A and B are shown apart, each in its own frame.
Chain A
Amino acid sequence: DVKVTQSSRYLVKRTGEKVFLECVQDMDHENMFWYRQDPGLGLRLIYFSYDVKMKEKGDIPEGYSVSREKKERFSLILESASTNQTSMYLCASSFSGGITDTQYFGPGTRLTVL
């Protein structure tokens, strides 16, 4: 079974802090994704990566950056956390980015910014 793990299930940070969310997948997938989930808005894509050191902006990249130094690990960085970044963050991975590929999701990190 594909396993996607996220470093924290719950995280509380203060406004202005630098926040790192880590995601690791164990199936040698090429593609990794970061989504943000908010009630009534569904999932929105923040960034995705199709290879090591490669990244593409999604629909809502403002205030976020990402890093992919190793194939299995994809990090989401909030350079200076703000209260409007309080949300559930979901990481996903897929094999090759083919149009019918299944994305496999981690359990999510619920981030609260005070």
Chain B
Amino acid sequence: AQSVTQLGSHVSVSEGALVLLRCNYSSSVPPYLFWYVQYPNQGLQLLLKYTSAATLVKGINGFEAEFKKSETSFHLTKPSAHMSDAAEYFCAVSNQAGTALIFGKGTTLSVSS
């Protein structure tokens, strides 16, 4: 069965600093992985997704993630944090049937000036 684990329920960075949000997956088949962002009082929005075409995936708002099979990881990064990046971030993996997403518990990113 597929699962994802997000390390760190809360990450704090300063504006301009590197953002690194960690996600590790468990899957018996090649995984399809997603990062979603949820701004306060809003629904989830897709940041990026890995579909096996390329291991480095670029998303919206300057975020990117690298699929590393050897480490079973799909960490999300952004070189320079902005105040507007403060939100909750969810890593997810598609289940084998492609009928649903299995979400991690989320990481709240705080950005201070």
Q: Which chain A residues have a beta carbon within 8 Å of chain B's beta carbons? A: 4, 9, 31, 33, 35, 40-45, 48, 50, 56, 58, 90, 92, 97-108
Contacts and interface: CB of A to CB of B under 8 A. Distances in A.
Nearest to A108: B43
Interface in B84-104: 90, 94, 96-104
Nearest to A106: B43
Nearest to B100: A45
Which one of A31, A33, A35, A105 has the greatest number of beta carbons of chain B within 10 Å?
A: A105
Contact of A4 (B9, B41, B43, B98): B43
Interface stretch (B12-20, B44-52, B60-68, B73-81): B44-52
Contacts of A101: 98
Interface string B1-41: 00000000100000000000000000000001010100001
A90 B44 CA distance: 9
Interface residues on B, range: 20 to 34
A15 B92 CA distance: 33
Closest 10 CB pairs of A and B: A99-B98, A105-B43, A42-B105, A105-B44, A43-B103, A100-B51, A42-B103, A107-B43, A99-B94, A100-B32
Contacts of B45: 105
B42 interface: yes
A26 to B, nearest CB: 15
A56 B99 CA distance: 10
A43 B105 CA distance: 7
B106 A42 contact: yes
A100 B99 CA distance: 10
Which one of B34, B90, B106 has the greatest number of beta carbons of chain A within 10 Å?
A: B106
A58 B45 CA distance: 21
Contact of B90 (A33, A42, A97): A42
Nearest to A6: B43
A31 B38 CA distance: 21
Given A43-B90, A107-B43, A108-B43, A102 B99 contact: no
Contacts of B46: 102-104
